[in-house]
Every structure is written in structure tokens, then in C-alpha cells.
Structure 1
């Protein structure tokens, strides 16, 4: 997709975030952009965003979707070419994959026009967060790995409880897959050579 179209998609989502939440049980409090859209203008496959929710970190494990997240995403028309990762407001937005993001919207101050303007002009680097120190990143990864392991165990139990019961197993299998994917991704990041 063209650069201008990617920025347009992010801007539309930010404006939709600036209205009352369509899913009251999922308090969305922030929208960040990260990845290629913060670099030099060029054609992109995806525009990556992080959606911040006011839930405990254990309710938003890495690469999982919080309860109500799919309904919220449908209601605000969050779909391709936007790629979304969910994060808890109780922790930092950044980690090993969300590197130096830029805030586009928050529930306190609304849409950040300066960020959108910088994105349009290909100057996303000027509105990004500073990189965490290596020790801060390692501490964050260790904390996220612990959250992810707890989630994996919960999802494994849930899958096992539902395995032989009547009804669809797909939602439980999908949740178990996401928990496994998140855990393995964090495990690789923690064990990667520095």
C-alpha cells in the first residue's frame, strides 16, 4: 500500500478511538504506531499499531487478544492493512517487537495531530519514544515472559477442560495457540544473544 494510504488508515483509527468505546468492558486508553511507518516513506505491506487497554498485565499477555478485543476491533473497523498488538496500560507499550513507538491517540489528550503530521511527512523518527536501556528491556522481557507462562498454563487448562465437552473447541484452541505463540516469541527474545 502507498505510504499516504497507510497513514490514512492509522489516522482513521485514531479518530474512531476518540469517540466513546463501542465495547464498555474494554477500556481502550491509547493507540501507538510502530514499525516501518516510523521510517522513510515507501510502499508498505502493513501499518503496525499497539492498542492500549486499561486492564491488568495478566489480562493482556503478549500476542493475545484481551476479552472484548475482537468485538472492539470489529466495531472500530480495525482490519488489514492495520496489524494490531494489544498492550496493558499497567506496563510499558514497548518491548522487543514494539521498538520506539509513537503515540497517536490517548484517552486524556485525544488525537496527536503532531504525530500524524510527522507520519505524513515521513518524519516519524522525530516523535518516537527513546529506546529503553538494555537492562530495562531485559527486565521487561522477563516480566512479560512470566505473564505469558501464566497465560499459557491458563489456556492449557481451559482447552483441556473443554476438550471432551459438547460445543466448539476452536475458540479454546485459538486462545491456546496465541498463548503458545506469545510465550515462544518471548522465550526466544529472552534467550537471544545480546
Structure 2
């Protein structure tokens, strides 16, 4: 996709985040960060990478998983219909890790739209609004913390899958959850190696 189209999709998502939350559906997104190729120099992109921060406990948002309610939120904001790859994060832990490198905040419930960041992304000068790079020790500690959360989630997902394996009903949601949790755990394990 062209750079201008990617910026357009990001801006639309930011505008959706800035709208008052639906009283019908409660999934509390509190921040939106952009990372990856859209923070580089203007060029064609395959996808837009964002970190969607929800006000959920850390153990409910292990790496590469999708918390309960996230799919509905992605559909209601039209994020799922656009070339946007979301990484779900907890508001109670840092947004960055080995894959979300030096993200830029583009919206928060507390501060609203970060116009300076959107302009910098659009202009290809996002370097000016990105988080500083963590030290190797900070990154290692962050990954170790995430790995512990991911391992606990993997054990829970495996237990649920095992309990549901021969029960009536669809197994796919439990298998998908186990797959996502396993993928996140293995990704973190590889990053620490």
C-alpha cells in the first residue's frame, strides 16, 4: 500500500479511538501506539503495525494473544477490515518489547490525539516522536517478565484445551487460543536466546 494510504488508515483508527466508547460494549482501550515500517522513511508498506493498549491485567494480555473482547473492538473500529496488524498490550506494563521497538504514541484516552506524532509519521520524521531505545538489561528484564506471563498463560490455555478436548461443542476457539499463546511463548523464548 502507498505511504499516504497507510497514514490515512492510521489516522482513521486514531479518530475511531478518540470517539466516546460505546455504552453497549465495554472493552477499554486506553492507548494506541504505532511501530514498525510506518515509523521509517516514506515507502510502500504491506501492513501498518499498531499496539493497542487495553485496561486489562497483564496476565490477561500475554504476548501475541487476543484478549476477550478484542475481536469485537477491532470490528467496531474497522481495524480488522484494513491492513493493520495489531498487538494487544496491557496498560499495566510497558508497551514496548523486542518486536515493538521504539513505538510512537498516537492516541491516549488521557491526552487525546497526539497530533505531533501523526504529523511526524506522515512526514517521515517519526524518529522525533519515538520512545528511546531500552538498554540491553532493560530489554532482557522486559522479556523475562513477559516470558513468565506467557508461560502461565500457556499452562492455563493447555488446561482449558485438555478439559474441552473430548467435551461436546466447538474446540476451535480453545485450539486457537492455545496456538496464539504457544506462538507468543516461543517468540519470547527465541528473543531471549
TM-score tier, shorter chain, comes to: over 0.9
C-alpha separation between the residues in 2 aligned to 1:167 and 1:20? 36
- 89, 92, 106: which is aligned to 2:91? 89
C-alpha separation between the residues in 1 aligned to 2:112 and 2:84? 20
Tell me, which stretches of 5 or more residues in structure 2 are unaligned?
Answer: none
3-state secondary structure, aligned to 1:6? helix
Q: Deviations over 1:30-64 (max 9, x none)?
A: 00000010001000001100000111110100000
Q: Does 1:5 align with 2:26?
A: no
3-state secondary structure, aligned to 1:43? coil
Shift of 1:25: 3.4
**Large movers: runs of 4+ above 2 Å:** 20-25
3-state secondary structure, aligned to 1:33? strand
3-state secondary structure, aligned to 1:64? coil
Shift of 1:26: 1.8
Measured on the aligned residues, the alpha-carbon RMSD in Å equals: 0.9
TM-score by length of structure 1 reads 0.96
Shift of 1:133: 1.1
2:106 corresponds to = 104
Shift of 1:24: 4.3
The residue correspondences of 1:8-157 to structure 2 (distance < 5 A) are: 8-22=8-22, 24-79=25-80, 80-157=82-159
Moved more, 19-28 or 87-96: 19-28
C-alpha separation between the residues in 1 aligned to 2:73 and 2:4? 25
TM-score by length of structure 2 reads 0.97
- 176, 179, 182: which is aligned to 2:181? 179
Q: Deviations over 1:126-154 (max 9, x none)?
A: 11000111111100000000000000000
